[in-house]
Amino acid sequence: MMKKGKMASKGIAIGNVRTMEHKEITVEDKQCDDVGASLKKLNEALEKSTQDLEKIRDNAEQSMGSEHAEIFDAHIQMVNDPEMKGQVEAMIEGEKLCADNAYNKVANQFIDIFSNMEDEYFKERAADIKDIRTRVLTYLQGKTPNDPSLIDKDTIIVAHDLTPSDTASLNLEYVKGFITEVGGLTSHTAIMARALGIPAIVGAQGALEDVNDGDTLALDAIDHNVYVNPDDATLEKMQDKLSAYKTYLETLNKFKDKETLTKDGVKVPLFANLGSPKELQGVTENGAEGIGLFRTEFLFMESDSQPDEATQIEAYKEVFETVQPVIVRTLDIGGDKNIPYIKQPKEDNPFLGKRAIRLCFDEIELFKTQLRALLIAAKDQKNVRIMLPMVAVVSEVRRAKSIVEEVQKELDAENITYQKNIDIGIMIEIPSAALNAKALAEEVDFFSIGSNDLIQYLFAADRMNEHVSYLYEPYDPTLLRLMHTALEAAHEAGIDIGVCGEIAGQLDLALVLAGMGMDELSMSPSSILEIRKTLSKLNSKALQTLTKDVLNAKEASEVKTIIKQFKDDNL
């Protein structure tokens, strides 16, 4: 049994271990005398790679649509390209190179050719060949590609870390849980796990040393236990616990189609955070009253080239037509989220550098294309709102609004129908924005507090750095008072304010935020029903008293004590 890390998403999972490590493939420059064996190895590797890509294509078509699947059709064609294969065979036969050595040389030649072309489309094909090269070389060296999209049985992923592209390709029908060696409660892996209701433990240092592929693993992300190859008695106990947890979740379902109301009838709308249209099922199944944060990065990170206007319109419409209202965050790239086809400078402090709205101002055509797509996709929807991330000063809001107006004029000139009465808001996630909320409120239609970044910027503590994790403290009254300052400014100006950071989905802090008077709370869908049920048992005046006591506290430990006492007295 290992007991490490932090519980990032609650639940129970049982499955086989699948380890994921990103290791560079090394190829020795050597010869092999058995030409026949090398040619056979090449053909087998190409055949296996083709089979993999066909499965990935089918999964992509089912989960993301035919347009995304077409990418893998192109990959299949490249794997079987007769010119490339012919050159590899010639090197094996003429120079007696080992199959992996020959394939690597030919693939690198093609990568260099495409990389040096002026046409952007052909330049982007170099990335496709790199991806294919890795898969084929893995098979040529007698290994199996660690491709999460090919998982076809109940599995628990154990990894050093999971990148956004890793998580985007997971077969969510079979992945039952995550354990990562790094990351905190607001890492992308943790956020995704909560969004999908998948049990997860993060920051479990040395986890990869404790398991092997195929091990049976029971993940208890309720009592914080992980059992590797448990004995029959322990496995039976965990299966019973899993069954009991499923029963508990079923008891919450009676709150699915209800409004979120306190015991005395005060509304506290609970919205969902959404990472991509693939998560819409979880949003509807958990009875979200809207989308409080629609992250649009998924479109840009799942593709090897910038999605065009039509592609974006299709994806946004899928969300807008399923749930209302929707708050859409414009592209938030930078920091720990990078896209290879968008040029970004190497920065010593990327979280303090060119990211989010700052990057969009530099990549103006990318920004305008997204705004066009959003406005067109929302043409029949009156409850779509556009939210700008990482706003620090008033001038940034004014500049963004002027770009929106410019896009609207272009659409008018082209006689294209779009939503003309769309609200523009900002995320409050930089202390300067919270402290200057009064001035910012005069410029926008709404606020939404992004607590994940607000905490790390307020305390100068990287939220991914375990060495300063003690400073990343959402219960600190300094943070809560700063949020209250932004709320007062918003309500004084007559605009709405919500919270879309991860703290909104933590039951204890959700009670404080409800008592504070937030107009909506947006969270991972899996958190909604438990919070809705709890709020239904509490009076709004009691929640207001709780918040008042918390705002007068001096430190996080005192806040936790106040909340615990409140729950003991009222629940």
Active site residues: 188, 500
Residue pair 452/428 in contact (Cβ under 8 Å)? The answer is no
Q: Are strands 225-228 and 270-274 parallel, antiparallel or unpaired?
A: unpaired
Residue-level length of the chain: 571
DSSP state of 389: S
Are the C-beta atoms of residues 364 and 370 closer than 8 Å to each other? no
Per-position DSSP letters for 204-247, written without gaps between them: -TTHHHH--TT-EEEEETTTTEEEES--HHHHHHHHHHHHHHHH
Strands 6-9 and 200-202: antiparallel
Q: List Cα–Cα distances, 305 to 275, 342, 375, in angstroms.
A: 19, 9, 22
The DSSP bridge partners found for residue 51 are none
**Partners of 17 in beta bridges:** 156
| SS3 label, residue 412 | helix
Between β-strands 496-499 and 446-449, what pairing exists: parallel, antiparallel or unpaired? parallel
Residues 6+ apart with CB under 8 A from 365: none
Q: In 3-state terms, what secondary structure has residue 425? A: strand
DSSP lists the bridge partners of residue 291 as 272, 326
Specify burial of residue 556 (Cβ count, 10 A radius: 0-12, 13-18, 19+). middle
Cα–Cα distance list, 528 to 22, 285, 492, 523, 570 (Å): 35, 10, 28, 7, 20
Which residue is it, tokens 């479109």? Answer: 299
Helix (H, G, I), strand (E, B) or coil at 159: strand
Residues 236, 228: Cα–Cα separation, whole Å = 14
Please say whether the beta carbons of 398 and 341 come within 8 A: no
Calpha distance 117→421 (Å, rounded): 43
> Rounded to the nearest 5 degrees, what angle is found at the Cα of 338, between the Cα atoms of 334 and 340?
140
Q: Are 163 and 183 in contact (CB under 8 A)?
A: no
Give the separation between CA 42 and CA 79, rounded to whole angstroms: 11
CA atoms of 101 and 390, how far apart (whole Å): 47
Q: How far apart are CA 542 and CA 548, in angstroms?
A: 10
